[in-house]
Chain A
């Protein structure tokens, strides 16, 4: 084989333009599972530990944590993390079920993706409204 004639495998099109890739619904659930997981690691774990410490330490700590909840920015961050938890939770249950071959055909997998996206968004919205 000459240098000017590379193997066919090298000439396969690389199509990795993130803006132009149209992910199917299960793909959207999957990448959001990863993004929400990373957000939970980066932000939710330290926030929960901090809140746990403050709330258990003293009644003042518990009260000051509650007053922090009144801050709109804190509320927004909390609602964001809540969505991350709910999405990760529901998508995770979906993966556990798919591991057990429940709903792993194309149509039910699509339907369950919609269910995961919808349930986490609607629950977040309901709790956000109640929090506000």
Chain B
């Protein structure tokens, strides 16, 4: 059985990005409201609360999900901006690659903050 090749050109991949942009937006809205709720409930963040939050597994996973939503959302948004304004193909490709590399590095940085070793 031959698998159909993944479509990388044409008008077929846009709908997926359109949907991803909205799903990631909803994830970010929920996380923002959640953090706002935590802040209002506790009257702001002090160090003890901050430490307790980051020690909580559910908070870490929620924060990772939020972070990945931000980075994926930023990828689509920035790629759209480069596609709209940067006409020379080589320069546009370079900017897109740089954006992608930076975003993946940010994802690794976030994982390191959330699960890396830290001084106590």
Contacts and interface: CB of A to CB of B under 8 A. Distances in A.
Contacts of B25: 92, 96
A59 to B, nearest CB: 5
Interface of B: 22, 25-26, 29, 32, 47, 50-51, 54, 70-71, 74, 77-78, 81, 99, 106, 109-110, 113, 118-119
Q: Is the interface of B mostly helix, strand, loop or mixed?
A: helix
Contacts of A57: 118-119
Given A56-B50, A89-B32, A96-B26, A34 B119 contact: no
Contacts, number: 51
Interface residues on A, range: 20 to 34
A55 B63 CA distance: 15
Interface of A: 34, 37-38, 40-41, 45-46, 49, 52-53, 55-59, 62-63, 89, 92-93, 96, 99
Q: Is the interface of A mostly helix, strand, loop or mixed?
A: helix
29 contacts: A34-B77, A34-B81, A37-B74, A37-B77, A37-B78, A38-B81, A40-B74, A41-B74, A41-B99, A45-B70, A45-B71, A45-B74, A45-B106, A46-B106, A53-B109, A53-B113, A55-B50, A56-B50, A56-B51, A56-B118, A58-B118, A62-B50, A63-B47, A92-B29, A93-B29, A96-B22, A96-B25, A96-B26, A99-B22
